[in-house]
Amino acid sequence: MSADDLEIDLDAIQRRMDGAMAALKQEFASLRTGRASAQILDPIQVDAYGQMTPINQLGTVNVPEPRMVVINVWDKGMISKVEKAIRESGLGINPVTDGPLIRLPIPELNEQRRKELAKVASQYAESAKIAIRNVRRDGMDQIKKAKSAGMSEDDQKMWADEVQDLTDKAIASVDKALEAKQAEIMQV
């Protein structure tokens, strides 16, 4: 093996950790807080034209006021399907149809619901941490393979420290994002 084969691809490790963080941010965006957000509709798929389609591809999603999301459905034939998908999504939002518009009034969150959402946010964060630790383990496995290929102990230590440093930063960023999301959820 050449010296190049003994290099550990830190960029790939960083990209994978960033991917776990991006997935966490997407999951956090779908968690409903007391404020309206167009992202709460992102996970909802509608059976449209024979395939599952995101709501934002069937109409314009706007947030005209802090407690209201409005969807202007382009195809009038899809209004009832979009409404049904929202009702069955488990978001706890009751859509109100007004011509081509579907209004989603966002109700106030009670204390119990806030605590439930904070727990869900914690579960999402824990999943992201597990993904990051799996990336770390893969990086450490690469270092072990490089050791058997003749990497020096000093280089092993240096690479292991680099991978651990990336892991620590990624975990800290997950903790920070979780703290911010829980504060947002608990805010009355």
* Helices 153-186 + 10-30 axis angle, to 10: 10
Q: What domains can you pick out in the chain, each with its CATH number?
A: 10-28+110-186 (1.10.132.20), 35-105 (3.30.1360.40)
Average pLDDT, the chain: 87
**Residue reference for tokens 């929202």:** 86
pLDDT band at 4 (very low <50, low <70, confident <90, very high): very low
* pLDDT value at residue 2: 43
* pLDDT value at residue 114: 83
Q: How many whole angstroms separate alpha carbon 147 and alpha carbon 171?
A: 27
Torsion of the alpha carbons at 87, 108, 25 and 173, rounded to the nearest 10:
-160
Is residue 126 predicted with pLDDT exceeding 80?
yes
Contact, 128 vs 20, CB < 8 A? yes
pLDDT band at 130 (very low <50, low <70, confident <90, very high): very high
